[in-house]
């Protein structure tokens, strides 16, 4: 529903989606895509979206001095990035402020948030992407669905991916078009190793069988750096990928590194999309852990074990807990190939496994939690508090749920020492955060 409204709004902050936030003359909050803090903008017609008022910019009457021209020509249509129009210094300020605001408003905590650790060269950092296949006029195009979710935006020149990936995608468009069956492929997943330059490619279809074997064979023959090719069956369109993976050719995994930690990735493996900033994040965790070689460490929501393995050589033992069996198997394989014998991995939900663990075993010296955006399960928080674990390191991808959970820990005797945001996703509104908590 659209409401005609034209007035000047002063922007005071930025939402978790990267929109400017201000107030109308009548006091209501309005979200203004593309607006930056401290700007004055004349807005267009208001629209109600999921109980929020959203308005476009008609005119910027006072621009932030750190506003810049976005480098990407399809930036405003794509929506994959939200902050390209902000210079790096302003992006740092926005991300730090977002964590600070969440701690104050949601956590009611008077804490100092350290400046966000930014990336020196914030372009071409992504090691993985999933591209939709769109067919128009008999030609296949690869790209994303835009900010509004409906318009298709070609993305074979994306500045977040390497030139090698972009070149492959452009050629892939031609090859898919030549098959005459572009509709057979819904999406394409590309993963590139920043350690070796090798590429893993997966065709995502609704069909149980991949019906373009010549396309697969020609790609493997013509691209020496394309070393792993897969087919994924997607039965639920609301998901990015399906559960069934079929190997089409080449190697079954891809080798990549975070710092000096080398891991092997299957197509379904979760791996941080920014290798260089992942090392920054993991080094912050290692610094706060301050391990001496005598500690027992639990790594909850451990994925393929990268955090636990990164710390294992500094600890007495590490136990990683992850609910997805394929990820646990990857973690065990990586530990074996790295020769790390003091790390073990369990397939279980953290909130059901930890109560049994602390009941039957002494409290660990350190627990690391890296939950999804929804934050920690209530039962897990209760167990963490009653376990009297002396040190917890909380790694978060969502400042709002982080602040909510920190409030509970603070009320129950944990001191929050410092809060360190890390920019794993330059040009976007997303931010990771590392927090050290110690029992008083």
- Distance set, CA 108 to CA 10, 100, 368 (Å): 25, 10, 23
For residue 37, give the CATH number of its domain. Answer: 2.40.50.140
Q: What is the pLDDT of residues 55-70, one digit of tens each?
A: 999 999 999 999 999 9
Q: What is the pLDDT of residues 352-404, one digit of tens each?
A: 999 999 999 999 999 999 999 999 999 999 999 999 899 999 999 999 999 99
User: For position 24, what pLDDT does the model report?
Assistant: 96
Q: Do 244 and 320 lie in a common domain?
A: no
Residue 322 assigned as binding residue: yes
Q: Do 336 and 287 lie in a common domain?
A: yes
The fraction of the chain above a pLDDT of 90, given in percent, is 93
Please say which residue of 230, 258, 286 terminates a domain. Answer: 258
User: For position 418, what pLDDT does the model report?
Assistant: 87
- Under a CB-based contact definition with an 8 Å cutoff, are residues 128 and 273 in contact? yes
Cross-strand partners of 126: 274
Q: Measured between alpha carbons, how far is 111 from 103 in angstroms, rounded to an integer?
A: 7
Cα 195 to chain centroid, rounded: 20
User: For position 148, what pLDDT does the model report?
Assistant: 64
Q: Measured between alpha carbons, how far is 333 from 320 in angstroms, rounded to an integer?
A: 13
Three-state helix/strand/coil letters over 292-349: CCCCEEEEECCCCCHHHHHHHCCCCEEEEEECCHHHHHHHHHHHHHHCCCCEEEEECC
Q: What is the pLDDT of residues 145-156, one digit of tens each?
A: 887 667 899 999
Q: Is 58 a domain residue? A: yes
Q: Poorest-confidence range of 4-18, 110-124, 168-182, 220-234? A: 4-18
User: For position 177, what pLDDT does the model report?
Assistant: 97
Q: Do 290 and 420 lie in a common domain?
A: yes
User: For position 261, what pLDDT does the model report?
Assistant: 96
- Distance set, CA 89 to CA 26, 166, 391 (Å): 33, 28, 33
Residue 272 assigned as binding residue: yes
Q: Is 265 a domain residue? A: no
Q: What is the pLDDT of residues 222-276, one digit of tens each?
A: 999 999 999 999 999 899 999 999 999 999 999 999 999 999 999 999 899 999 9
Task: Average the pLDDT over 168-181 and give the result.
Answer: 97
Q: Is 93 a domain residue? A: no
Q: Measured between alpha carbons, how far is 434 from 419 in angstroms, rounded to an integer?
A: 6
Q: Do 105 and 203 lie in a common domain?
A: no
Task: Average the pLDDT over 299-321 and give the result.
Answer: 97
Q: Do 292 and 429 lie in a common domain?
A: yes
Please say which residue of 233, 258, 283 terminates a domain. Answer: 258
User: For position 133, what pLDDT does the model report?
Assistant: 96
User: What mean pLDDT is reported for the chain?
Assistant: 95
Q: Do 105 and 137 lie in a common domain?
A: no
Q: Do 33 and 178 lie in a common domain?
A: no
Q: Please tell me which residue in 72, 78, 103, 397 is annotated as part of the active site.
A: 397
Task: Return the SS3 of 429.
Answer: coil
- Distance set, CA 53 to CA 37, 151, 429 (Å): 18, 22, 19
Q: Is 72 a domain residue? A: no
310 closest CA partner among 294, 334, 333, 292: 334
Q: Is 373 a domain residue? A: yes
Question: Is the pLDDT reported for residue 315 higher than 90?
Answer: yes
Task: Average the pLDDT over 14-24 and give the result.
Answer: 96
Cross-strand partners of 187: 132, 204
Q: What sign results for the dihedral spanned by CA atoms 82, 374, 320, 280?
A: positive
For residue 227, give the CATH number of its domain. Answer: 2.40.50.1070
User: For position 146, what pLDDT does the model report?
Assistant: 82
For residue 110, give the CATH number of its domain. Answer: 3.40.50.150
Q: What is the pLDDT of residues 396-440, one digit of tens each?
A: 999 999 999 999 999 999 999 989 999 999 999 999 999 999 998
Residue 337 assigned as binding residue: no
- Residue span of the structural domain in which 324 resides: 100-120+274-439
Q: Do 320 and 233 lie in a common domain?
A: no
Please say which residue of 198, 225, 258 terminates a domain. Answer: 258
- Under a CB-based contact definition with an 8 Å cutoff, are residues 96 and 116 in contact? yes
Q: Measured between alpha carbons, how far is 255 from 279 in angstroms, rounded to an integer?
A: 16
User: For position 4, what pLDDT does the model report?
Assistant: 60
Q: Is 264 a domain residue? A: no
Residue 284 assigned as binding residue: no
Through-space distance between the first and last CA atoms of the chain, rounded to whole angstroms: 52
11 band by pLDDT with thresholds 50, 70 and 90: very high
Residue 119, phi then psi, degrees to nearest 5 = -95, 130
Q: β-strand 46-49 against 52-54: which pairing, if any?
A: antiparallel
Q: Measured between alpha carbons, how far is 172 from 178 in angstroms, rounded to an integer?
A: 10
Q: What is the pLDDT of residues 69-111, one digit of tens each?
A: 999 999 999 989 999 999 999 999 999 999 999 999 999 999 9
User: For position 347, what pLDDT does the model report?
Assistant: 97
Domain count, the chain: 3
The DSSP call for residue 72 is: S
3 band by pLDDT with thresholds 50, 70 and 90: low
Q: Is 356 a domain residue? A: yes
The structure's pTM equals 0.94
What letters, b where the CB count within 10 A reaches 16 and e where it falls short, cover 203-242?
bbbeeeebebeebbeebbeebeebbbbbbbbbeeeeeebb
Q: Do 279 and 251 lie in a common domain?
A: no
Long-range contacts of 321-329 (CB under 8 A, 24+ apart): 321/345, 321/346, 321/348, 321/350, 321/353, 321/354, 322/346, 322/347, 322/348, 323/347, 323/348, 323/349, 323/350, 326/266, 326/268, 326/269, 327/268, 327/269, 327/270, 327/302, 327/303
The fraction of the chain above a pLDDT of 70, given in percent, is 98
User: For position 150, what pLDDT does the model report?
Assistant: 73
Cα torsion through 169, 175, 176, 180, rounded to 10 = 160
Q: Do 202 and 348 lie in a common domain?
A: no
Q: Is 360 a domain residue? A: yes
Q: Do 57 and 143 lie in a common domain?
A: no
DSSP 261-283: EEEEE-TT----SBHHHHHHHHH
57 closest CA partner among 34, 80, 39, 26: 34
**397 among known catalytic residues:** yes
Q: Measured between alpha carbons, how far is 434 from 396 in angstroms, rounded to an integer?
A: 7
Q: Do 201 and 294 lie in a common domain?
A: no
User: For position 232, what pLDDT does the model report?
Assistant: 98
- Under a CB-based contact definition with an 8 Å cutoff, are residues 343 and 312 in contact? yes
Q: Measured between alpha carbons, how far is 7 from 436 in angstroms, rounded to an integer?
A: 44
Q: Measured between alpha carbons, how far is 359 from 354 in angstroms, rounded to an integer?
A: 8
Cα 251 to chain centroid, rounded: 26
């Amino acid at each position: 529903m659209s409401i005609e409204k034209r007035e000047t709004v002063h922007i005071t902050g930025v939402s978790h989606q990267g929109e400017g936030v201000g107030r109308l003359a009548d006091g209501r909050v309005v979200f203004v895509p593309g607006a930056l803090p401290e700007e004055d903008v004349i807005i267009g017609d208001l629209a109600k979206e999921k109980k929020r008022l959203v308005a476009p910019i008609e005119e910027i009457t006072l621009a932030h001095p750190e506003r810049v021209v976005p480098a990407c020509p399809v930036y405003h249509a794509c929506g994959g990035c939200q902050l390209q129009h902000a210079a790096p210094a302003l992006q740092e300020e926005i991300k730090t402020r977002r964590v600070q605001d969440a701690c104050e408003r949601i956590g009611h905590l008077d804490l100092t948030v350290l400046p966000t650790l930014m990336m020196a060269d914030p372009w071409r950092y992504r090691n993985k992407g999933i591209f939709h296949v769109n067919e128009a006029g008999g030609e296949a195009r690869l790209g994303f669905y835009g900010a509004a979710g409906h318009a298709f935006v070609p993305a074979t020149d994306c500045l977040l991916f390497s030139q090698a990936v972009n070149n492959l995608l452009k050629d892939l468009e031609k090859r898919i078009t030549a098959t005459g069956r572009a509709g057979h492929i819904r999406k394409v997943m590309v993963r590139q190793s920043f350690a070796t330059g090798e590429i893993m490619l997966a065709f995502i279809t609704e069909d149980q069988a991949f019906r373009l074997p010549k396309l697969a064979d020609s790609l493997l023959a013509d691209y020496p750096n394309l070393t792993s090719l897969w087919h994924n069956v997607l039965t639920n369109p609301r998901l990015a990928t399906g559960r069934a993976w079929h190997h089409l050719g080449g190697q079954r995994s891809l080798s990549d590194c975070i710092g000096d930690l080398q891991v092997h990735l299957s197509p379904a493996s979760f791996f941080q999309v920014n290798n260089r900033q992942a090392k920054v994040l993991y080094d912050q965790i290692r610094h706060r852990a301050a391990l001496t070689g005598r500690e027992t460490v639990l790594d909850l929501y451990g994925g393929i074990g990268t955090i636990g393995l990164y710390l294992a050589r500094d600890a007495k033992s590490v136990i990683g807990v992850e609910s997805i069996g394929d990820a646990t198997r990857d973690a065990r394989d990586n530990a074996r190939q790295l020769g790390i014998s003091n790390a073990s991995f369990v397939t279980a939900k953290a909130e059901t496994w930890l109560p049994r663990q602390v009941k039957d075993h002494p409290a660990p010296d350190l627990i690391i939690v890296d939950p999804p955006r929804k934050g920690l399960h209530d039962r897990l928080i209760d167990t963490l508090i009653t376990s009297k674990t002396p040190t917890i390191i909380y790694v978060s991808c969502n400042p709002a749920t982080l602040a909510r959970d920190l409030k509970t820990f603070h009320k129950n005797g944990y001191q929050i020492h410092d809060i360190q945001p890390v920019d794993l996703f330059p040009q976007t509104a997303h931010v990771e955060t590392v927090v050290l908590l110690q029992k008083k």
